[in-house]
Each structure stands twice: as structure tokens, then as C-alpha cells.
Amino acid sequence: MSRGSAIRVPLALVASGVALLVSATPGTAARDPSPWATVNVCDTAGHPDGIGVRAWMPGTGDRRDELFVRLQLQFRRRSDDTWRPLGGSGDSGFADIGNGLARGRQTGRTFTLSPPAEGQPAFVLRGVAMFEWRRDGAVVRRARRATTAGHQGTPGADPEDYSSATCSIR
């Protein structure tokens, strides 16, 4: 083996190690893929008057980072067709869902509501997830996502592959 080739191997290892460190910094790996939220339960026999919201966020590749999610419900105001916070019991508060070493982490919550009075229109609801990546107690990145459809196979879904952007409670 020539002297030049003996040097190339360790340099290649160093270069790949630097590339791994760079990709694991907060805000780099966490930007791709994008976090998401979905309605995975909507007023079923197993969850009457319930709406389940599930959220997923990517890890950073670094166990020093902590991942937090807050799930909130919004209702569609009929008078102007805008989304408004439900407030009260429609807010999970921030929950620590684990460190950033995993490729991604998810959490969910099923909220149970009082249905509208007899003869009143259905409540149209959606979820909003706030995501925070924290290191040493400081937020290094934030994201916010309203619920979208197309995330089948989420744990706790009822029925099993249910995924929607909104939910109507009657």
C-alpha cells in the first residue's frame, strides 16, 4: 500500500464523521421531513363525541434535544367561516415526547366534547399541533401544523386507517 492511500482512508473517515455531525445539529435534520398532524378519531361508536388528534415530528439525530408537542382543537365559526380556538379542555399543553435521537416521534390525544344541542348544526373541528425542538431548555425550532388527511396507520386510529383534516360532532 502506498503512503498516499494510507492517508486517504483516515481522511475519508474523518470527512464522513463530520458530515454525520453536521446533519445531526438541531434544525438541520429536523427540517426534513416536515412534521404533520391528523384527525384519527371522529365521533365513532368506540369514541362517542370524541375527536382524536395525532401528530408526528422528525428527530434531530441528537439525544441532547427534547421534542415537545402541544395539541389544540379549533372550531369553524359559521358566521365568517374562520377557525377559532376551542379553549378549555381542547388544549393538551406541551408534552415532552422524547429525545431527538429517534428518526421521528409521535403522540396523540382524544378529546371528548359535549355534542351540540338537539336541532343545532354539527360542530366542525380540526386540530392544530405546535412543535418545539429544545436543547438545554431553550427552543431551537418551532413549527405549527393544522390537521391534514392522508396519514393512515396512526396508532389509536378509529377505524384503523382513519385520517382526516376535520371532524364533525353531531
pLDDT tens digit string along 12-36?
333 333 333 333 334 444 445 899 9
Answer for the pair 161, 38: CB distance below 8 angstroms, yes or no: no
Q: For residue 115, how many other CB atoms are within 10 A of its CB?
A: 14
pLDDT confidence bin for 8, thresholds 50/70/90 = very low
Q: What is the pTM of this model?
A: 0.80
For the chain, which domains are there?
3-169 (2.60.40)
